[in-house]
Chains A and B, each alone.
Chain A
Amino acid sequence: MKIYDVIIIGAGVVGTAIGRELSRYKLDTALLEKETELAFGVSKSNSGIIHPGTQNPPGSLKGRLCVQGNILTRKISMELGVDFKETGELIVAFTEEEKLRLYGLKKEGESLGVPRLEIVDSSWLRKNEPNLNKEAIAALFAPTAGIISPYRLVYDLSENAARNGVELFTETKVEAIEKKEYFEISTSMGVFRARFLINAAGLFADDVSGMLGIDDFKITPRKGEEFLLDKKKEYLANHLIFPLPARTSKGVLVIKTADGNPIIGPTAEDIEDKDDLSTTDEGLKKVLADAKKLIPSIDERDIIAYFAGLRPVSGNDFIIRHEEKAPGFINVAGIQSPGLTAAPAIALMARDLLKENGLALKKKLMFHSHRKKTIHLFAAPIKKARALIKKDPGYGDIVCRCEMVSAKEVEGAVDRGAKTMDGIKFRTRAQAGRCHGSFCTTRLMKILSEKTNTPLKEITKRGRGSEIVKKDRGDD
């Protein structure tokens, strides 16, 4: 049986960032993921903000990795062809007392190394953020904040990792681990062996760690409900808009996204159930009320979608450490916000921990650092679209009319690994618009069915148990 140098458990943004980093070296690396596709855990449902590093306690690990991650993400997004946009963020104050707190935040941010922080006054706000509540008197402006598509980042990281030799296994749930001469990892797909093991299992990192007897931390899900607005509202705000942070979260924000649809949210509520992704009437009420305090013109009727995500929280900081009790085992746990931002910095830290604990890192002669940018018609100017269609008529065959997605893009998504309807949605945006797939579902099912040689009735939303239909009458 093959013995891997490193196995990573969990293919969210953290696991795939680590995988991609390790793919630079002469190592046999594998990523094990329990879901049908990558990025189906915490990494699919978040705000997509590349934070500048503010709102983190000075001296915290998450603060340091966030500042570093913000810089690294720019390079990675360029190499992988993922759109990163620097939008800047504003933390808005409405009273003199709040304004004083801005100075405190600025100082804390500067001590973490957040660059170019600036307090702006109400006339600046009026000019640069015309829809903002007129009662705002000042804001902390962090120009290095940006946005990215979280799932496309994961898919592109994993694609590039795979190109550089990392093996990906989906529907592979780790069920037990034993440390013998090697780590013996029993999964739903059989046993894997590895010399080093990284736990990046997100919400379930405590369960995985517990399999090796290390149970001194517990992951508590902190639910965040978020509401997406119609793309027509793309220019509601020019920056990411934050209130002053609350104790357990950054508060309800008005967020620009890589897809164009603004998001309002998230809530922050500690819950028990790691599977509870339900949204609530209370959540909606709170988010609307809080968001309207920032931008009063936000209208309930603009909401076209919503979701809940669970932040994997354990205490106030990330837990990233080598476990002496199980040499070769590295926990990367409690990756709450800003985990998306910090992921590339976490990857470097994990790499260094591997090295310190005896893994020899030798650079490959040939590392493919770049991947070809995925084409999205909705982002292409008409001239470019025309050239694309000329080259391949499939780009002119529009499947999803709300988001302008062509058959060619959907086929490309399946070629690059989409196996489910959600996988297609996250990669291409088909079904993500205002009609919610009412018009394109059947066509997408057919493309998926044909390309993957799967009967229509076995097409799922997000893996086994979530089949779209119950019966094909053709089978009667």
Chain B
Amino acid sequence: MIERDLVIVGAGPGGMGAAISAHENGVKDIFLLERDQYLGGILNQCIHTGFGIDYFKEVLTGPEYADRFIKKINAIPEIEISARSFVTHLTKDKVLTYFKPGKIETVKAKCLIMATGCREKTREMTHIAGTRPSGIFSAGLAQKLINIEGLLPGNEVVIVGSGDIGLIMARRFTLEGAKVKAVIEIQDKTRGLLRNVVQCVTDFDIPLYFNHKILKIFGKDRVTGVSVAKVDSCMREVAGTEFKIDCDTVLISVGLIPENELIEMAGVRIDKKTNCPVSDETNKTSIPGLFVCGNAFKVYDLADSVSKDSELAGKLAAEYLRSAG
């Protein structure tokens, strides 16, 4: 079996940042696995601006932000990239199995950084009752359909949750000529960045309902509407406040879950509630030499924070490799 000094899984800002940082800290053999064809991860579909303000002191779009790292990585010969490589198994000894078109490979990592990012919480995880017609999307899927595929998922949209992707998508749909009829947030404040509320919702006169909850989704083949009600401080529905909104599309933006199924398979201790690794120090896990960085470690609001986190992960990996000899 091939052994590599440092294997990194995931080439979003977390994985790329960690690779660059590890190299800067002296690691000479870095193997970066990415399941997609391109580097950049979810940044590629984030064509709006707002990236880099912290990290580069510049306002960039997602792809521009990613490109800074991609250029750097391509210039470092010690980083080997394996794209279209989908890791399916991980053992506690850091042996990875991955699929590539045409083959299955295994590689043993002396040190491993997992930068697998997040998935979105689904309608099912929030247990929204009602039917299951077409027209229900996670905000990220809607974003991909519009920004990457050039397809408009719906004309009349209700957004559940005021997460950043949901807010950004409120503006995106509006600019695409669709009507965003409401953003429904169960808390008394937004989950997203304040600037996104202002620039993506308020500026477009989109009604934002705080302390409201979606009760049910209607429609047989396609969504026809949702019912909504006010909630009290214990998130219980307030009787008599229910109302219906007609729409053909429901966007779910109720939060992110770190994708840590692989490290769970390897036996890393996972917090059941957050799906993050149980850890008392940033990036460390219950298995020595197995680090987690970026949104897989903790859900960050900004790519800039992920980049900072990944610098540390790269450094920790280098230290680990030095001490392990």
Contact = CB atoms under 8 A, between A and B. Distances in A.
A and B assemble together = yes
Interface of A: 232, 275, 277-281, 283-284, 299-301, 303-307, 382, 385-386, 389-390, 393-394, 396-398, 401, 404, 406, 421, 434-439, 441-442, 445, 456-457, 460-474
A473 to B, nearest CB: 5
B103 to A, nearest CB: 6
A401 B138 contact: no
Chain A at the B interface: SS class = mixed
A278 B151 CA distance: 28
Contacts of A435: 119-120, 122, 138
A442 B153 CA distance: 11
Interface string B103-136: 1100000000000000110111101011111100
B151 A471 contact: yes
Contacts of B148: 442
B134 A401 contact: no
B221 A397 contact: no
Contact of B101 (A396, A436, A470): A396
A459 to B, nearest CB: 10
A277 B132 contact: yes
B120 A280 contact: no
B35 A401 contact: yes
A306 B129 CA distance: 9
Given A284-B129, A462-B221, A442 B145 contact: yes
B140 A284 contact: no
B150 interface: yes
A468 B154 CA distance: 9
A256 B129 CA distance: 24
Given A277-B132, A382-B104, A401-B35, A301 B120 contact: no
B220 interface: yes
A462 B220 CA distance: 10
Contacts of B120: 435, 438
B104 A394 contact: no
B84 interface: yes
Contact of A393 (B89, B101, B140, B273): B101
B119 A396 contact: no
Which interface class (under 10, 10 to 19, 20 to 34, 35 or more) fits B? 35 or more
A255 B102 CA distance: 37
Given A393-B102, A438-B119, A462-B221, A469 B152 contact: yes
Contacts of B103: 386, 389-390, 393, 396
Given A284-B129, A303-B125, A466-B221, 4 more contacts: A398-B35, A435-B122, A438-B120, A470-B155
A45 to B, nearest CB: 10
Residue in B124, B264, B272 with the greatest tally of chain A CB atoms within 10 Å: B124
Interface of B: 35, 84, 86, 88-89, 97, 99-104, 119-120, 122-125, 127, 129-134, 138, 140-141, 144-145, 148-155, 176, 215-216, 220-222, 248-249, 261, 264, 272-273
B127 A281 contact: yes
A461 B135 CA distance: 9
B97 A394 contact: no
A132 B129 CA distance: 29
Contacts of B152: 469-473
A397 B84 contact: yes
A470 B88 CA distance: 35
B124 A469 contact: no
6 contacts: A281-B129, A382-B89, A437-B141, A438-B120, A462-B221, A469-B152
A441 to B, nearest CB: 6
A465 B133 CA distance: 10
Contacts of A398: 35, 86, 88, 99
A469 B133 contact: no
Contact of B220 (A275, A280, A394, A406): A275
Contacts of B131: 277-278
B122 A436 contact: yes
Contacts of B133: 461, 466
A132 B130 CA distance: 31
A470 B248 contact: yes
Nearest to A475: B150
A307 B129 contact: no
A469 B145 contact: yes
Contacts of B176: 473
A304 B124 contact: yes
B134 A467 contact: yes
Shortest 8 CB-CB distances between A and B: which pairs? A465-B221, A461-B134, A393-B102, A466-B221, A471-B152, A466-B134, A469-B151, A438-B138
Which of A394, A456, A461, A472: most chain B Cβ within 10 A?
A461
Residue of B122, B123, B132, B138 with most partner-chain A CB within 10 A: B132
Contacts of A300: 127
B119 A389 contact: no
Contacts of A463: 221
Given A398-B86, A456-B149, A305 B130 contact: no
Contact of B86 (A301, A401, A436): A401
Contacts of B264: 232
B221 A396 contact: no
A236 to B, nearest CB: 15
Contact of B153 (A279, A397, A404, A469): A469
Nearest to B123: A436
Given A303-B124, A461-B134, A473-B150, A438 B129 contact: no
B216 A278 contact: yes
Contact of A303 (B104, B127, B220): B127
B148 to A, nearest CB: 7
A300 B130 CA distance: 18
